[in-house]
Amino acid sequence: MTYDGVLSTSIGHLGLLLKENQLVGIHFLPTDFSISESQNPIVTKIITQLQSYFKNANHSFDLPLQLEGTPFQQKVWKKLTEIPMSETRTYGELAKALNTAPRAIGQACRTNPIPIIIPCHRVVANTSLGGYSGQTQGELLQRKKWLLQHENAQC
DNA sequence: TATTCTTTTGGCG
DNA sequence: CGCCAAAAGAATA
């Protein structure tokens, strides 16, 4: 699989998937993945903003996203982007805000095509840390923990 | 249309 | 205090 751009971050390499000059997906890549420089100005902008975020969590993304999904997912994802920095919200809270069930939030979070930019890592379960992309333990959770710690350190 | 996936909640040892 | 089972909503094949 080829990516439109590969970015090296503190939690590993990130692969950017673009479509019509719009970001449609981000994949976590192994650290030994070869970094490919981008000639597309949009890719450069995305990489710049991502690096800025990883350097300083107090950075708001301003990127052209193409959220392909059901209206419910788009609603949830948009709500996720409105979560302030260094703030975590539980599935129950989001469900109450959207007038739906917490499990539906988890579904939308699991099918989130663009991690990091859509702060699905700020969504945690009520009792435990919750899951991340359907994984309740493993490398994904470590990245989630890193991101939360990164944002908490800023405030 | 049926299966799967997600978290929350309640009860029991 | 920790573990197990059931429930409700949505996505996917």
Distance CA A6, CA A35 (A): 5
In 3D, which of A76, A71, A126, A81 has the Cα closest to residue A97? A76
DSSP string, A113-146: SSTTTS-GGGEE-SSS---BTTBSSSHHHHHHHH
Torsion of the alpha carbons at A32, A48, A65 and A28, rounded to the nearest 10: 20
Q: Is A120 a catalytic residue?
A: yes
Selecting among A94, A120, A147, A148, the annotated active-site residue is: A120
Asked whether residue A111, judged by its CB, lies under 7 Å from any atom of the DNA or RNA strand C, the reply is: yes
* Burial label, A76 (beta-carbon count in 10 A; 0-12, 13-18, 19+): buried
Per-position pLDDT tens, chain A of length 155: 789 999 999 999 999 999 989 999 999 999 889 888 778 999 999 999 999 999 987 888 999 999 999 999 999 999 999 999 888 999 999 999 999 999 999 999 999 999 999 999 999 988 877 778 777 777 788 888 899 889 874 34
In 3D, which of A53, A82, A15, A24 has the Cα closest to residue A147? A53
Asked whether residue A108, judged by its CB, lies under 7 Å from any atom of the DNA or RNA strand C, the reply is: yes
The separation, in Å, between residue A113 CA and nucleotide B2 C1' comes to 26
Is there a contact between A121 and A150 (Cβ–Cβ < 8 Å)? no
Distance CA A7, CA A33 (A): 10
Distance CA A105, CA A92 (A): 8
- Separation in Å, CA A17 to CA A34, A37, A143: 15, 14, 20
Q: What pLDDT is attached to residue A37?
A: 75
For the whole model, what pTM was predicted?
Answer: 0.89
